[in-house]
Chain A
Amino acid sequence: MATVELRFSAQPEHVRTARLVAAAVARRAGVDEAVLDEVRLAVGEACSRAVGLHRSHGITAPVSVVLTEEEKAFSIEVGDAVPEPGSAPATPGARGGSDEPETEGDGEDEMGLAVISGLVDDVEVRSGADGGTIRMSWPTALAAVRS
């Protein structure tokens, strides 16, 4: 079961809230202080990406952030509601669609993922018919001492 679960409407101003909550819960879970900056940045990147996807696809569903304290690790799962291309329902301009307007923001999505994969050793990106998730995890201090 999630330690803390957060759902927020896909507005950029709420991403900061998600960062603050994630960092606070990670600290309590025993994630090393030196790593908290990385947690904050990675969850911010994942949430910014999800907000961008929701907004560009006109999705009104909230973005979800699930923070889970496990025995030796702390995990964060950021979920969006944008279906994988090719999966039903086929909406115009679905993820990866070619009819999206070109903006200066193009490529920020990829840059966000690049930052996440550069920061987090344990990361998994999935997409399915009901949306995508980015799952990241960090060892907790207790696990680091034991290993």
Chain B
Amino acid sequence: MDLSLSTRNVSGPGGDRTVVEVGGEIDVYTAPKLREQLVELVNDGSYHLVVDMEGVDFLDSTGLGVLVGGLKRVRAHEGSLRLVCNQERILKIFRITGLTKVFPIHTTVDEAVAATD
């Protein structure tokens, strides 16, 4: 299954948030598409991103690298990158790489949009 991406803007208590809904497999082949999307959003001035990973079937270290790259970019503009994920097999990859300490991970998009800390 290929990667699917869609974005929408949502207003939260801390201001506007851009929700990036990702579906399918994020791997060495598809991760560049996600990277392009994140770079494009930041270049267009969207610095507060919520990446919804509920539709992701597979994530590898290439995908993790792209998310870390996205975080680096938004932080350069004092922005934020929050993840939405409840799938144990995906969460496990964040845990074994220690990235649960790097990314705020939320259970719903609403919760991520509402977060202001």
Q: Spell out A's residues near B (CB within 8 Å).
A: 12-13, 15-16, 19, 37, 40-41, 44-45, 47-48, 51-52, 104-105, 107-108, 111-112, 114-115, 118-119
Cross-interface CB contact of A111 among B27, B29, B61, cutoff 8 Å: B61
Residues in A neighbouring B62, C-beta threshold 8 A: 48, 105, 108, 112
Residues in B neighbouring A19, C-beta threshold 8 A: 27, 58
| Closest B residue by C-beta to A106 | B65
| Closest B residue by C-beta to A105 | B65
Q: Spell out B's residues near A (CB within 8 Å).
A: 25, 27-29, 35, 58, 60-62, 64-65, 69, 89, 93, 96-97
Residues in B neighbouring A45, C-beta threshold 8 A: 60-61
Chain A contact residues: helix, strand, loop or mixed: helix
Cross-interface CB contact of A16 among B27, B35, B65, B89, cutoff 8 Å: B27
> Does the CB pair A37–B89 fall under 8 Å?
yes
12 new A-B pairs (CB below 8 Å) besides A41-B93, A48-B28, A105-B62? A12-B29, A19-B27, A19-B58, A44-B58, A45-B61, A47-B28, A104-B35, A104-B65, A105-B65, A108-B61, A115-B60, A115-B61
> Does the CB pair B28–A51 fall under 8 Å?
yes
| Closest B residue by C-beta to A117 | B96
> Does the CB pair A115–B65 fall under 8 Å?
no
Cross-interface CB contact of A12 among B28, B35, B69, cutoff 8 Å: B28
Q: How far is the CA of A114 from the CA of B89 in the complex (A)?
A: 16
> Does the CB pair A104–B69 fall under 8 Å?
yes
Cross-interface CB contact of A112 among B25, B35, B61, B69, cutoff 8 Å: B61
Q: How far is the CA of A40 from the CA of B57 in the complex (A)?
A: 12
Known contacts A37-B89, A48-B60, A104-B69; is A111 also within 8 Å of B28 by CB?
no
Residues in A neighbouring B61, C-beta threshold 8 A: 45, 48, 108, 111-112, 114-115
Residues in A neighbouring B35, C-beta threshold 8 A: 104
B66 to chain A: closest CB distance in Å? 8
Cross-interface CB contact of A48 among B27, B93, B97, cutoff 8 Å: B27
Residues in B neighbouring A41, C-beta threshold 8 A: 58, 60, 93
Known contacts A13-B29, A16-B29, A40-B58; is A111 also within 8 Å of B97 by CB?
yes
> Does the CB pair A16–B60 fall under 8 Å?
no
B89 to chain A: closest CB distance in Å? 5
Known contacts A37-B89, A41-B60, A48-B60; is A15 also within 8 Å of B29 by CB?
yes
